[in-house]
Structure 1
Amino acid sequence: MKLSEALSERSDIAKRIDRLYDRLVNNAKVQEGENPAEDPEALIAELNGLTERMTELVTRINLTNAATVSDGETVTALIARRDCMTKKINILRGFLDEASSTVSRGMRSEIKIKSTVNVREYQKLLDELSKELRTLDVRLQGLNFTTELL
């Protein structure tokens, strides 16, 4: 099995677990004398099976990511870099959106609001980081499709 297949299955199982939660909550209580729409015991048994499979997949994915090296870096390190870069980009994007928004003044005597940074310079940095993130993501996707799951 390729790493990409395991990642896809993990995503599918996570969605199924989320749906199971909703189904369990919907069948947690019934009016006296009524039956639930679904058997909670069967749903819990399904949940147990899915969480066991998820545990196995996550373990194998993590072991594979830690053991797979590309250009001197493990996939785990690449993922950590991608996640941190994504967070940084999102924060900078929000900051620049706020810094570049204009505040209109009704009269010249009103307080003038100005940006605290050179928005153009930071936008250029944001564009460079976004390009680097896309390149890193393509690299990770390629590894996912070529790496065998341990």
Structure 2
Amino acid sequence: MRLAEALTARADLQRRVEQLRARITANARYQEGEEPAEDASALLVEAEEALEALRGLIGRINATNARLDLGVDGTMTDALAARDVLRWKHSVLADAAAAASGTAGFRQMRSELRQLSALPVAPLRVRADETARELRELDNRIQQANWTHDLEE
């Protein structure tokens, strides 16, 4: 199984557990004289089995990521950490540029004070764009590795 297939299977298992959680919650109590739509105990057993399968799959994915060498990006684990940080950095830069560009220099009435930007908007946007490009390139390398490497046993 390719790493990308394992990631898809993990997402499917996570969705399944969430669906089971909702069904268990909906059937955990019922009104006297009626029967629940589903057996909450059986659903709980099914959820525990899915969670155990998820634990095993996550362990294999993590082991693969720790050993998978992506060259200049380090291991897959290193690349995933770098991608997370790039996402945060892009968000901070884009939000800062948006906030700084807000109402700079605009007055509604003569008696109001002008709002001035504390940050240089254009350079912030350039840095945000560069960070977005870095993020896209790294994400492409991660996705390529996901589809070209097998999951460890």
TM-score, normalized by length of structure 2?
Answer: 0.94
Aligned pair count? 150
Letter of the aligned partner of 2:139 in structure 1? Answer: D
| Cα distance between partner residues in 1 of 2:89 and 2:108 | 36
Shift of 1:109: 3.4
Give the number of the structure with larger relative contact order, counting CA–CA contacts within 8 Å between residues 6 or more apart.
1
Deviation, 1:108, is 3.0
Amino acid at match of 1:120: A
Question: Which of 107, 112, 122 does residue 109 from structure 2 map onto?
Answer: 107
**For residue 136 of structure 1, what is the aligned residue in structure 2?**
138
CA displacement, residues 34-55 of structure 1 (integer Å, 9 cap, x when unaligned): 1110101110111011101100
Partner of 1:32: 32
Counterpart of 1:14 in structure 2 is 14
Q: Shift in Å at residue 107 of structure 1?
A: 2.4
Within 5 A, what are the aligned runs for 1:1-150?
1-72=1-72, 73-102=74-103, 104-150=106-152
C-alpha distance in structure 1 between counterparts of 2:96 and 2:25, whole Å: 40
List gaps (5 residues or longer) in structure 1: none
- Give the deviation of 1:102 after TM superposition: 1.4
- Matched residues in 1 for 2:148 and 2:61: separation? 14
Counterpart of 1:142 in structure 2: which amino acid? Q
> Structure 2 unaligned runs (5+)?
none
Moved over 6 A (4+): none
Residue 2 of structure 2 contacts residue 147 of structure 2 at CA under 8 Å; is this kept in 1?
Answer: yes
Identity %: 40
- Measured after TM superposition, the shift of residue 147 of structure 1 is 0.6
CA drift of 1:70 comes to: 1.3
TM-score (norm 1): 0.96
Shift of 1:106: 2.1
Instruction: Report the residue type matching 1:34 in the other structure.
Output: E
Q: Give the alignment's Cα RMSD to 1 decimal.
A: 1.1
- Give the aligned residue type for 1:74: T
Distance 1:37 1:64 in 2: 41
Per-residue CA distance 1:94-133 (angstroms, 9 max, x = gap): 2221111116422233201011110000100000000000
Amino acid at match of 2:135: L
Q: Secondary structure at the match of 1:126?
A: helix
How many Å separate the matches in 1 of 2:109 and 2:41? 69
